[in-house]
Amino acid sequence: MLALLLRPKFWPGHLAMLVCVAIALGLGLWQLDAWSQHRSEAARDLANQPAVRLDRVMTGDSPFPGRSVDQPVSFSGTWLGGDTVYVSGRPLHGRTGYWVVTPVLVAGSRSAMPVVRGWSATPSSPDEAGPVEVTGWLQASEGDDAIDDDPDDDVIPAMRIASLVEHVDQDLYSGYVLAKKVSTGSTALEPVAPPPASGVSMTTGLRNLLYAVEWWFFGGFAVFVWVRWCRDSLESTAEPSALEGTGV
């Protein structure tokens, strides 16, 4: 009876099943690979990697490279001490104070990189001037939508590049740097804690994993439909034969 399914008239059904299964298997593997990549990227702990030159990661005109958050970078330039601003509401060792942010005009660029020099209990710090070499962790502009109650002072409520633009005459990079080491600068400020080590949560890339399972379920359903179709085809072929054997 099974030999009947090898007849040419059944080939389109077999071919349709094979195509559906191949597509479902391929798309499922693609989504599984995407899930694996998401988890690999989340597991990267860039904060402890060696510093690379800033111009290898981004320029003053480029958008912020999202995959480079926490990437240690190094660059040289000149302090723009007159454009120092203070970011309020920053905790450190159980106290709340300010980040001291001074832009550095990057050598070989027309743009300045905002540098978080350290933490202060009050919105004040010694001015910085002259050349400097900076090593620190690259960070993205914060998305906090807090309103600046007094736009005329040097205190801002969040580390947003859009807010810094109002206080700095120089063009700015689309991110900022948490200073780890500077060659020149005040030692009166307390250092800001480095970024926490990254980790992988259970939900990282979960959507891609669910898509993979969904595609494989579709492939299994295609096999189920094919089996039912084969069985029905065999039964419909067998019925006329049975009737002929009875002489009806």
pLDDT 10s digits, 102-147: 999 999 999 999 999 999 999 988 888 899 999 999 999 988 777 7
Measured distance CA(85)–CA(216) in Å, rounded: 55
Instruction: Provide the pLDDT confidence category of residue 10 given band limits of 50, 70 and 90.
Output: confident
pLDDT digits (tens, 9 = 90+) for 188-220: 789 888 776 555 455 556 788 888 889 889 889
Give the pLDDT mean for 89-94. Answer: 91
Highest mean pLDDT among 5-9, 73-77, 125-129, 219-223: 73-77
At 7, phi and psi to the nearest 5?
-70, 145
% of residues, the chain, pLDDT over 70 = 85
CA dihedral 223, 225, 229, 230 (to 10 degrees): 20
Give the pLDDT mean for 90-108. Answer: 94
Task: Identify the weakest region by mean pLDDT among 25-29, 82-86, 98-102, 238-242.
Answer: 238-242
Measured distance CA(177)–CA(51) in Å, rounded: 12
pLDDT at residue 240, rounded to an integer? 57
